[in-house]
Amino acid sequence: MRAAGAAIAGAWVLWAAGDARADGPAPDEDRAAFEAELFGAVETSTAISPPSAAPTSSRSDFEEELFGAPPPPPSAERAGETESSGILDALQDSLRNASDRLAIGGTLFLRIEYRALDEGEPSDFALVSPNTLDLYLDARPMDRVRTYVRGRLAYDPTAAADETADSADLTDPNATATLGGGGRPVTQVLLDQLWVKFDLARSVFLTVGKQRVRWGTGRIWNPTDFLNAQRFNPLALFDPRLGVSLVKLHVPFEDAGANLYAIVNLDGADQLDRVGAAARAEIAFDTTELAASASWRDGEPLRFGVDASAGVGDFELRAELALLYDDPLPVFSGDFDPSQPAALTGVRVRYREDSVLPQLVLGADVTLGYGDGQEAILGLEYFFNSTGYDGAELYPVLALAPTLGQQFPAQAEQIGLRTPTPAVFQPFYLGRHYLSLLALFPTPLGLEDHSLVLTGLVNLSDRSALVRVDHTVRLFRFLSFRSYINAHFGDLGEFRLGFELGPISPLGAGISLVPPLFELGFALSTTL
């Protein structure tokens, strides 16, 4: 069941095949398994210590350690050949030692996508090509220290050179212009990770710097993923979110199968009162893993969460529960008629201070056999989101809220909206009830280098849906080709977003958003 769980986790990020080393550390670096792999047992560490680790050694001992013990005296007729072979062996050993200390690699991701709408000419529909190159340096000068740097170059030749990225999500290769202006940049240079890991007395482990972290067991929804300001996008071909600037302290208890984490969150902390704190405890026994976490930061809700996964028979069961207290996000209500110039006059805003808001994820995976020894993995996940809405009527207001609060403070105050207004239009967290279905075929019809993933997402609250089909074929060991299609169904809502806004006062000109019909994409990914 653990193998099935690992396979299905890859499916939720759309089967991102490739060399594991090129991806750097695992997305959830807080797991005890990753820390064990990182630092290893002292007596079994394969890291090579620098020569200075043995200052009392003689020069001959040092040369023997670096180049190996000298060979026995050669015979006269083979002396020249042996001497040449020894030089080559010494050179290979030196290169191998340097390679063990520093690894350089990366991932190149080339993609093109065609986006069709319900209305309009096919030749006028958008074509985007968000390409990314990730490069990393992974240095391990000794078995107790590791330094990691990862940068990203993003390039979209389909973006206009004069477009700005004021409102675009710069960390997401799927980013498009948002309501209220902005666009896609042609080129971006981003820092993904920059951290150092070391231990104190081989008992306490510290990770300092910009690092990847992901909490929770959900495949699509992760309400207990408290440290990432940006929500995980399950439709992205890989997780494009950048690392978070943290000071993470990890204390493992190997005999009990438990781990404790204490975290200082420095991301965006331009003042001392903006520094956040978090804690997490994990324990594993038999086929069950349990975790409890908490997070606090000024201006954000106080968060508590628990997540669990367990193997029960043929099933892998997962659950997450997050509790949010004193959420600062506004809640919109009332009547909104987009055809009327005074449409906003019927809208009201309230805040939920001193309220506890639950978010619950329940999921299950099962592996079933079919055909001639083939297997398929089926997954189901439900999400209850008490912060969401029962319908799509107010979605345009959510999208326009930051613009309204920033540019028209008087009108915002009239409806009860505080300024400045944070982003309240959060995809995959707009509705109150969601359901996802998955069918993964690791080797469909016995094709060893192929995988097929069918995914369905339904917003039960606004009755919109999206169906996705992904196919991946490994062309070579380090090169894969992917194709996918998203089809949108149901009523106008989150997964089929569209509306027509008249000249709403005080925003002036109207806004037209045509619902999507489908997206068709192709991608090449290779490791360097």
Position 499 scores a pLDDT of: 82
Residue 85: band (very low, low, confident or very high) from pLDDT cuts 50, 70, 90: low
pLDDT mean over 478-486: 96
Position 213 scores a pLDDT of: 94
Residue pLDDT, tens place only, 15-37: 333 333 334 443 334 434 433 33
In degrees rounded to 5, what are phi and psi of residue 394? Answer: -100, 5
Q: Which one is predicted more confidently, 431 or 236?
A: 431
Question: Does the structure show a pLDDT above 80 at 510?
Answer: no
Of these ranges, 89-103, 278-292, 413-427, 487-501, the one predicted with the greatest mean pLDDT is 278-292
Residue 40: band (very low, low, confident or very high) from pLDDT cuts 50, 70, 90: very low
Question: Does the structure show a pLDDT above 60 at 76?
Answer: no
Q: Which one is predicted more confidently, 245 or 58?
A: 245
Residue pLDDT, tens place only, 278-307: 999 999 999 999 999 999 999 899 999 999
Position 38 scores a pLDDT of: 37
pLDDT mean over 173-202: 74
Q: For residue 515, what is the DSSP state?
A: P
Position 58 scores a pLDDT of: 41
Q: For residue 87, what is the DSSP state?
A: H
Question: Does the structure show a pLDDT above 70 at 345?
Answer: yes
Position 415 scores a pLDDT of: 84
Q: Are strands 126-128 and 102-117 parallel, antiparallel or unpaired?
A: antiparallel
pLDDT mean over 172-192: 62
Position 21 scores a pLDDT of: 34
SS3 91: helix
Q: Which of 35-49, 292-306, 309-323 has the lowest mean pLDDT?
A: 35-49
Cα–Cα distance, 149 to 160 (Å, whole number)? 31
Cα angle, residue 266 at apex, residues 264 and 270 outer, rounded to 5°: 140
Q: For residue 125, what is the DSSP state?
A: S
Question: Does the structure show a pLDDT above 90 at 149?
Answer: yes
377, amino acid identity: I
How is residue 411 written in tokens?
Answer: 């009108």
Percent of the chain past pLDDT 70, that is, above it, reads 75
Which residue in this structure is represented by tokens 């996008």? 233
Which residue in this structure is represented by tokens 């001959």? 60
Helix intervals (H) in 224-279: none
Residue pLDDT, tens place only, 407-448: 778 778 888 888 888 888 999 999 999 999 999 999 998 899
Residue pLDDT, tens place only, 441-450: 999 988 999 9
Instruction: Count how many residues are written for the chain.
Output: 528
Cα–Cα distance, 289 to 217 (Å, whole number)? 10
Position 373 scores a pLDDT of: 79
Q: Which one is predicted more confidently, 343 or 173?
A: 343
Question: Does the structure show a pLDDT above 50 at 516?
Answer: yes
Percent of the chain past pLDDT 90, that is, above it, reads 58
Residue 512: band (very low, low, confident or very high) from pLDDT cuts 50, 70, 90: confident
Query: Could you please report the per-residue DSSP string of 380-435?
Result: EEEEEETTSBSSSTTHHHHHHHHHHHHH-HHHHHHTT--SS------TTSSBSEEE
Mean pLDDT score across all residues of the chain: 81
Position 248 scores a pLDDT of: 98
Helix intervals (H) in 441-502: none
